[in-house]
Structure 1
Amino acid sequence: MWAGSGCFRPRERCVRVTGTGEATAAAVEAAWGRVRHNLRLSAGQRLFDRWLKPMVLLSDSDADMVRLGLPSAFMTNWVKSHYADRLLFEFRACLPEIRTVSVETVSTLEPARVLTGESIAPAVPVPGATLLADSPAPAPAAEPVPAQPIGAPGRSQFDPRFTFDRFVAHDSNRVARNAAKLLAEPGVPRFSPLYLHSGTGQGKTHLMHAIGHAFLAANPQATAIYMPAERFMFEFVSAVRARDTHSFKARLRAVDLLMIDDLQFVAGKDATQEECFHTVNAFMDAGKRLVIACDRSPHLLDGVESRLVSRLGAGLVADIKPPALELRHAILARRLAENAAVPVPADVLDLLASRIHGSVRELEGAFNRVVAYAQLIGQPVTMDFAIQTLGEMLQGPKKRITIDDIQRAVSSHFELKQLDLISARRAVAIARPRQIAMYLAKRLTTRSLPEIGRKFGNRDHSTVIHAVKRIESLRGLDGEIDGAVRQLMRQLEGA
């Protein structure tokens, strides 16, 4: 199914420093060139260009810690979340002396702090270094691959790991997988649009990339674009500001296959929804292929125009359910076969499959982490090792809490009607519980401020911000309010 970003592949050979016991600046810089090269191969060009290519090696790295810089906190958090273990693994494969890899936000990336070794090509041996035993001959320097915009209609935008062959099918995802394969077949499409929906990490993006690979393989002269809804919105707004919306519309509508991911992010964006509606209409009228992915079914989209919802539901709607135990075992078996160099006992696989059941991405991430740590410290994978390595991940996912759950709990606690929380009434007996409910919605759900405001009687996001700040302040001053918040949080989280 979904191929996690930490999936390990055969790496180009690295160098190891001998004699001093410390990693010199020259050796770290040479290793950085090799690490970048390996990351590009394993992550794929699109993901590498977007998240990893901007990363630079900072010159004030010391003997046992490598410091990497990124230009924004958002990128830093993403790389830490998805690639912290992989970066350490790659550096230690070249320089065992490295103990820590720190990823930091350096907003200006001052030239004095940044080393100049930006080449992605394989690093050359450095003085005082010996090659790993039984390593193949050095690969020739790779030709630079130009970065390609996310919205460009080329083949390189599709991740090479996300194919139909690597998607593990089961009853929970078979309809979505079969529909995706049908849409990718040559000839007149049997349906369009294809609307895929599921929780995060279940395989929607994997299927979209697989469609792109299969469609372009069967139709070499065809064009396809994959873009997240956030990118659609950004490019559309940029075109509006540049007074060049014609070029934006023409570029999208000229392709044979268009795929838009994470559609939930257009909620509340009226102008973007308008353009999205016309784009969907254009593809349906032309009988061309359109794929939409979202975290919920069309009729559950809050803040999205009804006419767009109607259009999205006019094609084939296919959901992907959370993976059953049998599927989780099958996914781990497939990944184990791809990483045969590190034996993982059956009882450890059983542990992962039974404890991590909310997301395929989390399941594969846990497997990759166990394998990586075993390679890093040279220990065999055992049950105790897996438990120690994964820690809190084995507690399983937390209960998913909705705003409706919060409103029911708060109204019951304060003996109100649920309608009171979304009404315009401003009496303190209602306004304070409403603020508590908004505070809990911000703390316990992933909904945005505008989404929360809409669920409380179409209130503005600034009202939600005020409520959150007010309750945070009152919790430190009023023991009764703090106690009520704590009790509600325990009740909602099932503690």
Structure 2
Amino acid sequence: MADGAGFGTIQVGTEAGAEALWSRCRILLKERVGAGSFQSWISPLRLASVEGGVATLTVPTAFLGSYVARNFQEAILAALAEAGGPASRLVFEAQGRTPMRGAVPMPAAQAAAPMAAPALAPEPAEETQRLDARLTFDRFVVAKSNELAYAAARRISEGMAVGFNPLFLHGGVGLGKTHLMQAIAHEMRARRPHTRVLYLSAEQFMIRFVTALRDRKMMDFKQVFRAVDVLMVDDIQFIAGKDSTQEEFFHTFNALVDQGKQIVLTADRSPVEIAALEERVTSRLQSGLVVQVHPADYELRLGVLQSKLAAARVADPNLRIADGVLDFLATRVTSNLRVLEGALTRLCAQASLVGREITLDLARDCLGDVLRASDRKVSIEEIQRKVAEHYHIRLADLIGPKRLRSFARPRQMAMYLAKTMTSRSLPDIGRRFGGRDHTTVMHGVRKIEELLGTDAQIADDLEILRRALEG
């Protein structure tokens, strides 16, 4: 054999010779593929022989051999040549199985030999967190605050090529992020039952990873997560600060993206706001489409209640509800959609059990604790103080008559928050903003609603202020 660059020729007809050659290759490969990929994919390999231009490598599982053949074959062949044991193709021999040939063209006689298939991923039902049958696209209420997130989720569920990967949805609690993820899974299973969809929480990802480490089954773990067509992880912020889990997620992410597989993630904040997240992970999370799901406005809250009521009437056709009750709930319960749906569920249950109509009086009596919690959460005065602090202006200028843009936009933001986070009427809000007319308040609210769809800074300011007020 010809000498490799920097190395002498090694006789690999013996086991010792193969080990010496592979030791040289490992040094070269570790530098070229990176420590993480080396540890995950190259380290488990063993060189059995190099004969007739064919290098035979033993691998723990057929899956690992198949992955290495697709992603590292050229690097291994180059390293073999440089280390003094050149070969024209690779054969991967899973322990106890028929050899698996690499992707390099083979002579016809050898190509006819059976190729060991990579181990199949478990059926999606075995690996996917149990889905809620109610969380489908048909039951998702769309409004300005979530229309982009909905459209992106729909596009992915159709199975067509999309120009973004991953899709990263972020926003507060109870805004529909999990609903959209599960809707994607439901829709994909309905359209293409054989699509391998894996949906789970970040906590479950971490538990599986730690269990695989403990039981020395990391190859099985990698096989499951790298063999899916769509990976969806909920509440990804929970891997922050957990270095080993982040490392494995990083390699899983890269492996799936390299294979053209789709990833969907959710979190309670944007990638750059997740503390203790490695910079390289943050960078990967931002490489696709990042969409904020905004807090529900009045129209969305009312739409959710109407949808919930329609479903309740299917179960109980005799359910009666007075005019104004849904409007009352949409105005008063503003914390999040889960609390809002829970309030209506409680009302429907009580009305059905005692055979009464759902009236405003019944709502006030039955939901006293929910209404009190919502009322004590925020006041117009507190909103004004927080907005003035956020925009670094005086409270007197926020409320006063000056129409400078530096005062007018924060004033409109404060009016919008007062309208959506309190039960005060428009005239009452106007009076608390220097005696302004209710039409001025309406104009301010509409202006912020328009800007939310076009101005990312306004959307970010609103999210920060909501969190400060709700906290």
Q: TM-score range by the shorter chain?
A: 0.5 to 0.7
The 5-angstrom pairing of residues 343-354 of structure 1 reads: 343-354=320-331
1:205 aligns with: 178
Give the partner amino acid of 1:177: Y
Q: 1:493 to 1:169 in 2, by over 3 A?
A: closer
- TM-score (structure 2 length as normaliser): 0.52
In the aligned structure 2, how far is the partner of 1:272 from the partner of 1:150?
22
Among 365, 375, 385, which residue is 1:388 paired with?
365
1:216 aligns with: 189
User: How many angstroms does 1:206 deviate by?
Assistant: 0.4
> Would you say the 8 A contact 1:336–1:344 is kept in 2?
no
1:152 aligns with: 126
After the TM superposition, which parts of structure 1 deviate over 6 Å for at least 4 consecutive aligned residues? 148-151, 492-495
In the aligned structure 2, how far is the partner of 1:285 from the partner of 1:189?
15
User: How many angstroms does 1:346 deviate by?
Assistant: 2.6
1:371 aligns with: 348
The 5-angstrom pairing of residues 68-147 of structure 1 reads: none
In the aligned structure 2, how far is the partner of 1:338 from the partner of 1:201?
19
Among 316, 325, 345, which residue is 2:298 paired with?
325
Give the partner amino acid of 2:238: F
> Would you say the 8 A contact 1:261–1:292 is kept in 2?
yes
1:361 aligns with: 338
| CA RMSD, 1 decimal | 2.7
In the aligned structure 2, how far is the partner of 1:268 from the partner of 1:374?
47
Query: Identical aligned pairs, as a percentage?
Result: 44
SS at match of 2:330: helix
> Would you say the 8 A contact 1:168–1:331 is kept in 2?
yes
> Would you say the 8 A contact 2:142–2:150 is kept in 1?
yes
2:135 aligns with: 162
**Residues 92-121 of structure 1, C-alpha deviations (whole Å, 9 max, x = no match):** xxxxxxxxxxxxxxxxxxxxxxxxxxxxxx
Among 226, 241, 250, which residue is 2:199 paired with?
226
**Residues 455-474 of structure 1, C-alpha deviations (whole Å, 9 max, x = no match):** xxxxxxxxxxxxxxxxxxxx
User: How many angstroms does 1:392 deviate by?
Assistant: 2.1
In the aligned structure 2, how far is the partner of 1:151 from the partner of 1:296?
29
Give the partner amino acid of 1:355: R
User: How many angstroms does 1:153 deviate by?
Assistant: 3.8
> Would you say the 8 A contact 1:153–1:255 is kept in 2?
no
> Would you say the 8 A contact 1:298–1:313 is kept in 2?
yes
User: How many angstroms does 1:376 deviate by?
Assistant: 2.0
Give the partner amino acid of 1:331: V
**2:229 matches 1:252:** no
User: How many angstroms does 1:243 deviate by?
Assistant: 1.1
**2:280 matches 1:303:** no
> Would you say the 8 A contact 2:322–2:358 is kept in 1?
yes
SS at match of 1:157: coil
**2:253 matches 1:293:** no
**Residues 228-257 of structure 1, C-alpha deviations (whole Å, 9 max, x = no match):** 000000000000011111111110110111
Compare the two structures and name the one with the higher helix fraction.
2
Q: Which runs of 5+ in 2 are unaligned?
A: 1-121, 390-467
> Would you say the 8 A contact 1:189–1:287 is kept in 2?
no
> Would you say the 8 A contact 1:168–1:327 is kept in 2?
yes
User: How many angstroms does 1:336 deviate by?
Assistant: 1.5
Q: Which runs of 5+ in 1 are unaligned?
A: 1-147, 409-491
User: How many angstroms does 1:151 deviate by?
Assistant: 8.0
SS at match of 2:138: coil
> Would you say the 8 A contact 2:202–2:235 is kept in 1?
yes
In the aligned structure 2, how far is the partner of 1:238 from the partner of 1:163?
32
In the aligned structure 2, how far is the partner of 1:304 from the partner of 1:386?
44
In the aligned structure 2, how far is the partner of 1:260 from the partner of 1:180?
14
Give the partner amino acid of 1:185: E
**2:248 matches 1:275:** yes
1:183 aligns with: 156
In the aligned structure 1, how far is the partner of 2:240 from the partner of 2:165?
22
1:313 aligns with: 286
User: How many angstroms does 1:364 deviate by?
Assistant: 0.6
User: How many angstroms does 1:187 deviate by?
Assistant: 3.5
User: How many angstroms does 1:171 deviate by?
Assistant: 0.5
SS at match of 2:137: coil
The 5-angstrom pairing of residues 391-430 of structure 1 reads: 391-395=368-372, 396=374, 398=377
For the pair shown, which has the larger CA radius of gyration, 1 or 2?
A: 2
User: How many angstroms does 1:222 deviate by?
Assistant: 1.1
User: How many angstroms does 1:493 deviate by?
Assistant: 7.6
In the aligned structure 2, how far is the partner of 1:278 from the partner of 1:343?
55
- TM-score (structure 1 length as normaliser): 0.50
Give the partner amino acid of 1:370: L
User: How many angstroms does 1:158 deviate by?
Assistant: 2.2
1:126 aligns with: none
**Residues 337-358 of structure 1, C-alpha deviations (whole Å, 9 max, x = no match):** 2222312223111110001112
> Would you say the 8 A contact 2:166–2:262 is kept in 1?
yes
